[in-house]
Structures are given as structure tokens and as C-alpha cells.
Amino acid sequence: MKHLLLFLVLVSSISAFAAPVPMQTTQDKADGNRLVINGNKRFISGMNIAWNNFGNDVGDLAVSINDFVNYFKQIKGAGGNAVRWWLHTDLRNEPKMNSDGSVDRIGTKTIDNIRQVLDSAYNYGIVVSLCLFSFDLLQLDGKNASKVAINKKFLTVPANLDSYITKVLKPMLEAVGNHPAIMCWEVFNEPEGMSSDANGWSDGDKVPMSDILRFTARIAAVVHDKTLKMASTGIHEFGKMKTWYSDSKLRTAAGSDPLASKAYLDFYMAHYYPQYIGTSGSPFHNTASSWGMDRPILIGEFPAKSWDTGYNPDGKGPVSGTELKIVAAYERAYDNGYCGALSWSMNQAPANKFGDFNTTKPALENLYSKHKADIDGVPVSGGQSSSSIVASSSSRASSSSVASSSSRASSSSVASSSSRASSSSVASSSSRANSSSSAISSSSVASSSSAAVSSSSSSTGNSSSSESNATDTSSSSEEDSTPIVKNSPLAASHFPTYYSLKGEPLGNAKPQKAGIYIVKQGYSAKKIVVR
């Protein structure tokens, strides 16, 4: 009877903290040529999602969460840990704009959509670069000239940026700004494309680079002021990093903004396509240190497939000497000292133009097999990451979404979400990803023998891999250990995380104080007694 009561107490404890994803409480930062995200230093290995529905993933319509879950599942299954996702993109849908270029309001579902995507990413151990805008702001594609004119006013009138910061950026940061699945808040995608003095290619109109830098500086400053997260921007070419984005230039661009001292990029993110630039501009043919920058550099875009003489997107083959296999590209990104690599892309059709997940998958798997610990993440000494928590699911597969929390990691409450937005038991059917439907479920708690615990043992880190029983070896003469559950509702983690019986996260170091604790690693959770 005593053992039964203890078991019920422990099950109740797990149920208590298998709820909302906690907001982060540790400061993200660059560390050498790695990024420290939610207390873990890691090499970024993944792909661009960019969008599921161009310019429409946030706004007034519900997000297609099942598609995003499928993307995350694929990346995790291949051994990756990151994606890049665009939010406002070209303002075609979100935020709502006035004719003078000022912001009227944020989309009614924007914050909830972002939260759902981030919660799902977190459940798979994926971090997300949230890219706010793209050079597409001044492209005619999908827009008329009057819309481009409004967007130009948005970019060039300082008061319009103020309206965006007040009505959109700050509400997003206050609600989800410290979500542990955020890699960074990224201001622009290739803004040089819409610049009149940086060889821009936008076909609708162009603006001075000074306006782009003002935008970049002020948004980065607010991110640093309101969150524990990093800021970056997607630079078109590696050579342009030093030209435009030094600390001094961004702080100058911020002008009289009281937050000007916080106007900087935590790491640089630049793009490379072999049909435009030869080996002199290639991260795969030059080390990260060769660019003379003062912080980590992430390769934010490059083809998701091998490139050789047969690679001919836009009617242009690669510059001679740049040919490379995709597996070698990821290896060189790692060996050349970059902090990460995200190929383009998972879902931009046709796949034979830039590649897709299937063409990049072997590269992700290969890199993970060689650098598993660096990709899974190494806990930073003295840091305490938020716990990896999957929202508990019912047999009807409803999921919880997290209500707004303060930018300083106040605890979130749970709000109900529709079955379309389920992140705990999801049947995926994304035709773009060409994968079979799959389901993720949080199983009912069942007792197990004291000699075995369940673990996630996939060599690629696939969070949906089958589980096997193994004898636990983590206990010592100072501890008693009792396995609690099989198919625990806790998300996979490749290093142990300790909790109090109330579900309070205690970090990755074993508690020294005598007492009863819960330790979670992989898909197993057990009770330990420290004497």
C-alpha cells in the first residue's frame, strides 16, 4: 500500500508539470563559436521552413500546426535541432497597416500561432529563428504598386516604426519573447535586396540602407531590453557583414533612441548561393575567422541539395570551383568554425530547384552521427535550463496552449486549443514533406519493474522512436532509484534534468540536499532518493 501511494504521488507530480512550456529564465548568449540557448551551448544544425503559407502563417487565421509538427518531427528524426521561420514577411497579411504606413493592429491570432509553433518545436527539442520581415516588402510579387508604396512609408518614416514597436513587437515579446524554443529574433531576410545603395534587386521600389539599419538597430535594441533572447538579421552576402552591421554602425543608426546602447547583433547570419558568388564569398571555402568578425557566424541559407554543373536555379549554374556535395557542406560548416548551418528549404517548390528535406536529410544524419553531443547541446556551467515539457494530451488529442506570460518569465496559464492545433497527438499529412502520417501520444502511466526504465535510444535523436527497456545505472550508494513510467509525457532530452516532487525544475546537476526528486532523461522519468 505504501508503494502504491508513493507511485500515485509521483504520477500526480508528473501530471502537474506536464502542462505549459515554462518561459526561459537564463540569458542566451554567444560563447566562442557556439550559441547558448536556454542554458545549453550547441551547434545549430537544421533547415529553413521559411513559411508554410507565404505571408499567412500569422495574422487572423489559425496556423496549420500539424504541418509544423511534421517539419519538426522530420528535422529531429534526422538529428537536426533548428529551423528558421518567417513571420510578417512582406506585410501582405500581418500586421494590419494604415495607408500612411503606420501599423493599425496586430493580427488576432498572431501571438497564439507563434506560441503554438514554438510549443511544438520545444516538444521536439527544436529551436526557431523568428524572422520578422523580408526584402519582399518592396517586391511587386503578389502585391500592387499601392501596397509597395505603403510598405515604403513603413520603412522610411520613423513614427511608423514606433507604431510597430508599440502595437506588435512589444506585445509579441511580452507574450512569448522568452520562449525557450526561440533561437533568436531575426529582423530581416536579405534587406540589402531592397536597398538603393547596396545593389538591391527589388522590382517595386528601394530605400536607403540607412532606413534598413535604423529598423535593424531599434528592433534589436527592444529585443535586448525586453527579453533574454538574442537578436540577429539575415544578411545577403558574407562580405556585407562588416560593411553594414558592426556595433558602432547600428548604434549610430539607432540615433537618439534611449536604447541605442542595446542596438547590436548577438551573432551574424549570412547567406550563400553558388550561382551568384564564387569561392571568395563562400563559407564552405573560407573559415569563419577569415571574415574578421567579432562574434559567431551562422550560415543562414544555402542550397538544400548538392551543387555541381547540373545545379541550375534561375537559369544560372554554380560558379566554377564551388561545386560541393550537401553532406560535405554541413561538415565544412562545422569544421570551418561556424556556429551553425540552415539549408534552403524544406518546402519551397519545386524541390529540384534548391532541394528539400529529403536531399538535406543525409547531411543532417551524418553530422549528428559525428557530433551528437554538440548538436544535442551541452549544459553551460552554472546555468539552469527550463525543463522540457510536453503538454498532457487526452484520448481526444486536445492540446494546451500557453496564455501570455511576462517578458521576465512569469508562469503561464493554460488555455484550450482546437484539435486543429494539437501538439501532443497529431496526425501529420504535409504533402510537401512527402512523409507518412504519424501520431505522437502521451501514453497512460503504467507501473514498471524496479529493474528497468524506458529510454529513447535512437541514434539520430528521433523523438518518435520506439522505446526499449534498459537497466538504470545512474543511481549510486547515496541514492535509491525507482522507475516511474514508460512512455512518460515528458519530452526527450539527452541529458538529465532534475525536479522537485512539485514539478519545479532544479537544473541538470544532481541535487546535493537530501530528499526525494524526479529525474528525467530521454523518455524516461524516475524517482531518486538522495541521502
Are residues 176 and 271 located together in one domain of the fold?
yes
Asked if residue 13 is part of any domain, the answer here is no
Asked if residue 430 is part of any domain, the answer here is no
Phi, psi of 165 (to 5 degrees): -60, -45
**Range of the structural domain that residue 235 is part of:** 29-379
Position 144 scores a pLDDT of 87
Are residues 373 and 459 located together in one domain of the fold?
no
Count of domains observed in the chain: 2
Position 531 scores a pLDDT of 77
Position 504 scores a pLDDT of 73
Position 394 scores a pLDDT of 28
Query: From the centroid of its chain, how far is CA 437?
Result: 23
Position 294 scores a pLDDT of 95
Are residues 104 and 240 located together in one domain of the fold?
yes
Q: What CATH number is attached to the domain comprising 77?
A: 3.20.20.80
What distance in Å separates the CA atoms of residue 400 and residue 395, rounded to the nearest whole number?
Answer: 14
Q: Residue 286's closest CA among 300, 275, 301, 297?
A: 297
Q: Give the global pTM.
A: 0.72
Query: From the centroid of its chain, how far is CA 69?
Result: 13
| Domain finish residue from 352, 379, 406 | 379
Are residues 327 and 225 located together in one domain of the fold?
yes
Are residues 362 and 468 located together in one domain of the fold?
no
Q: Residue 288's closest CA among 259, 316, 267, 307?
A: 267
For residue 76 the three cell numbers come to 529531429
Strands 297-301 and 340-343, how do they pair?
A: parallel
Are residues 366 and 462 located together in one domain of the fold?
no
Are residues 333 and 453 located together in one domain of the fold?
no
Position 389 scores a pLDDT of 28
Are residues 343 and 482 located together in one domain of the fold?
no
Asked if residue 391 is part of any domain, the answer here is no
Position 274 scores a pLDDT of 96
Asked if residue 370 is part of any domain, the answer here is yes
Query: From the centroid of its chain, how far is CA 500?
Result: 28
Quickly count: other Cβ atoms within 10 Å of residue 381's Cβ. 8
Residue 350: asked if its preceding bond is cis (omega within 30°), the reply is yes
| Domain finish residue from 379, 412, 430 | 379
For residue 339 the three cell numbers come to 556556429
Which residue is listed with cell 541550375?
312
Are residues 360 and 219 located together in one domain of the fold?
yes
Cross-strand partners of 41: 36, 378
Asked if residue 243 is part of any domain, the answer here is yes
Position 508 scores a pLDDT of 64
- Is 454:489 a contact under the CB 8 Å cutoff? no
Q: What is the DSSP letter of 379?
A: E
Are residues 353 and 467 located together in one domain of the fold?
no
Give the end-to-end CA distance of the chain in Å, rounded to a whole number: 23
Asked if residue 320 is part of any domain, the answer here is yes
Cross-strand partners of 392: none
Phi, psi of 194 (to 5 degrees): -110, 20
| Domain finish residue from 356, 379, 402 | 379
Are residues 372 and 496 located together in one domain of the fold?
no
Are residues 90 and 194 located together in one domain of the fold?
yes
Asked if residue 179 is part of any domain, the answer here is yes
The helix/strand/coil state of 526 is strand
Per-residue tens of pLDDT for the chain, all 531 residues: 444 444 444 444 443 334 589 999 999 999 999 999 999 999 999 999 999 999 999 999 999 999 999 999 999 999 999 999 999 999 999 999 999 999 999 999 999 999 999 999 999 999 999 999 999 999 998 788 999 999 999 999 999 999 999 999 999 999 999 999 999 999 999 999 999 998 899 999 999 999 999 999 999 999 999 999 999 999 999 999 999 999 999 999 999 999 999 999 999 999 999 999 999 999 999 999 999 999 999 999 999 999 998 888 888 889 999 999 999 999 999 999 999 999 999 988 888 889 999 999 999 999 999 999 999 999 997 554 443 323 322 222 233 333 333 333 333 332 333 332 333 332 333 333 333 333 333 332 232 323 232 333 333 333 333 333 333 333 333 333 333 333 333 333 345 677 788 777 776 677 878 888 888 765 467 888 887
For residue 444 the three cell numbers come to 497512460
Asked if residue 400 is part of any domain, the answer here is no
